[in-house]
Structure 1
Amino acid sequence: MFDQAESLRRLTRRASRPASFAIVGADGSGCSTLTAELAISLTRNGQRPLLLDAQPGQVLSRRLGLPPAATLSGPTRRPRALSELMSQSPHGITLLNLYASAAERAELSELAWHRLQGEFQPLERDADVVLINAPSPADDPIPAGIADNLILVLGPDTESLTQAYAELKRLHGFAGRLSANVLINRCDHLDEARLLFNRLAEVAGSYLQLPLRMVGFVPYDISVPRSQTLRRPLADAFPHSEAAEAYGQLAAQLPHWHTPPPGGADTGYLELLASASRDCTLAIGF
């Protein structure tokens, strides 16, 4: 009876969809690891994250220790049930593998999208937050461009800074992105993280008039690659490591990073993904 009453209270408190956060960054910046570890920390904070993987390679499945699922990509183009794309982690995380190119998504029939959206809506409504492991905007800007919020992951190397600015520029031009959250990864200390952020913020402000907000940093920690070698999430393998504690702190703050979309748009993420893929493929020809 308690569980049923709590479910009713949840529905009463929030009839609209949850906020979505797209996580992007330079190659090798640790976006997939960050996405998986944030999701685990959210569940341990009592939240219900819905995890969407729009990157190739089934990386999130590996990070969570799950078998690979079907994706939206492939030669058959037949309608799929959402369950074929879904995995459930022992942590209580629902993972959907939505990887496909924009052209492949545009080729899916209206019937296929309608079926997927109908199955997706209850999952989305039941979630507290949607996390998207987004591909590089240079390859496909749509998964990150349609999210409510952007979390840009910045590493300590020069290439990461250069690519991060290019991704901001791409999303600013493609999706009219007006702001972005920046998370610094693999820094030795806070002063280094602030220095990196200030360099990016200065360039973005000067050339794009795009305000950035630093939301935190994750210190360099050898436990992260060790956990990947063990094929176990860091939160399970080394829960008391510096990086694991940082992920937990960031997950606790993540709901406060949400900026509501103008006009209070309430269109579901999968519906936006379908329409944007069709429109952009026709107009731009990805």
Structure 2
Amino acid sequence: MNKLVADQADGLRRLLAPTQARVVAVAGMGPGAGGTTAAMNFAVALAGQGRNVLLLDEHRRADGSACEVWDIDPPGSLADVARGRLALDGAEVRVACGVHVLTAVRSASHEAANEAGGSAIDPRRFWHDGVVVIDAAFDAEGRLSPLALGADDLLLVLQPHPASVTSAYAGIKRLHHTHGLQQMRFLLNNVVDAQAARQIMNNLAQAGSRYLALSLQPAGSVRFDPLVADAWRLKKTIAEAFPASDAAVDFRRAAGEMDRWPWPEPAPLQAAA
């Protein structure tokens, strides 16, 4: 398929989508990979572009979670909204940068989904335009939640070190086999050597295609920046606290590329029995 035809097909999928909201799940591949950092900075960067952004936090409020970093405590959760106990504007918190935050802890969301007949909660039901960013959490067996699996895009975050890359590839393989995922994107975080990072991205993309028949697409890289820790102490992301810093520039660039990501193919219609 040539590029013109591919672009036309992608445009048609956008027009036929039930809403114009895009849902992106962001997950860190291992402790300290920076999944929450990436999810928060992506959300801030997108809000800075004028997007309507909702961040769903699957992590319990603890050190390093989005709610802890921003020092917020949303009065409700995704499960409360899904069950009709609270309206969205009564459950979420809007932080100063313009991002709306709602907790989506897995156990509560799972119970709400069961009450709805077993299907995952779809945030597009109440977030009709803009972007939903899920700060996704793996369970003890390395599986994603139904909420994250229902996203349009899955963005994995990893560090550019041999041990991290090896561990991340094992996790990618597990996600592919467990959930049958055919497409994922990945972001390299805390990059020091740009040339080495480009080689890692190329190698990972080739390995996914050759050994897993998987579309594994690089979504860019973010340079190591000591100001990230200073921003955390200020209860802000680096995109908020130090917008001219290397990492903030890289996060904005990566978020800006999202519009060029093709929308996923729609699921085939089931034939009538």
Cα shift at 1:241:
0.6
Which residue matches 1:153? 157
Q: Retained in 2: the 8 A contact 1:52–1:133?
A: yes
Cα shift at 1:79:
7.5
Which residue matches 1:236? 240
Cα shift at 1:147:
1.5
Structure with more relative contact order (C-alpha pairs < 8 Å, separation 6 or more): 1
Q: Distance in 2 between matches of 1:155 and 1:69?
A: 34
Q: Distance in 2 between matches of 1:152 and 1:234?
A: 19
Which residue matches 1:135? 137
Structure 1 pair 136–158 and aligned structure 2 pair: CA distance change class (3 A): farther
Which residue matches 2:263? 259
Q: For structure 1, which segment, 190-199 or 88-97, has the greater mean C-alpha deviation from structure 2 after superposition?
A: 190-199
Q: Distance in 2 between matches of 1:105 and 1:13?
A: 28
Which residue matches 1:81? 86
SS in structure 2 at match of 1:259:
coil
Could you say what the CA RMSD is over the residues aligned between the two structures, in angstroms? Answer: 3.2
Residue segments in structure 2 that go unaligned for 5+ positions in a row: 1-14
Cα shift at 1:41:
1.0
Cα shift at 1:108:
3.7
- Equivalent AA in structure 2 for residue 128 of structure 1: G
Which residue matches 1:97? 103
1:22 aligns with 2:28: no
SS in structure 2 at match of 1:57:
coil
Deviations 1:22-57 (A, max 9, x none): 111222111111111111111111111221111233
Q: Distance in 1 between matches of 2:257 and 2:93?
A: 26
Identity of aligned residues (%): 29
More helix by share: 1
Q: Distance in 1 between matches of 2:265 and 2:17?
A: 16
TM-score normalised by the chain length of structure 1: 0.73
- Equivalent AA in structure 1 for residue 27 of structure 2: V
Residue segments in structure 1 that go unaligned for 5+ positions in a row: 1-11, 266-286
Which residue matches 2:43? 39
Q: For structure 1, which segment, 92-101 or 238-247, has the greater mean C-alpha deviation from structure 2 after superposition?
A: 92-101
Which residue matches 2:190? 186
SS in structure 2 at match of 1:262:
coil
Q: Retained in 1: the 8 A contact 2:205–2:218?
A: no
Structure 1 pair 113–50 and aligned structure 2 pair: CA distance change class (3 A): farther
Alignment of 1:198-277 (within 5 A): 198-263=202-267
Q: For structure 1, which segment, 80-89 or 39-48, has the greater mean C-alpha deviation from structure 2 after superposition?
A: 80-89
Q: For structure 1, which segment, 140-149 or 240-249, has the greater mean C-alpha deviation from structure 2 after superposition?
A: 140-149
Q: Retained in 2: the 8 A contact 1:65–1:232?
A: no
Structure 1 pair 117–216 and aligned structure 2 pair: CA distance change class (3 A): closer
Structure 1 pair 91–162 and aligned structure 2 pair: CA distance change class (3 A): same
Aligned residues: 245
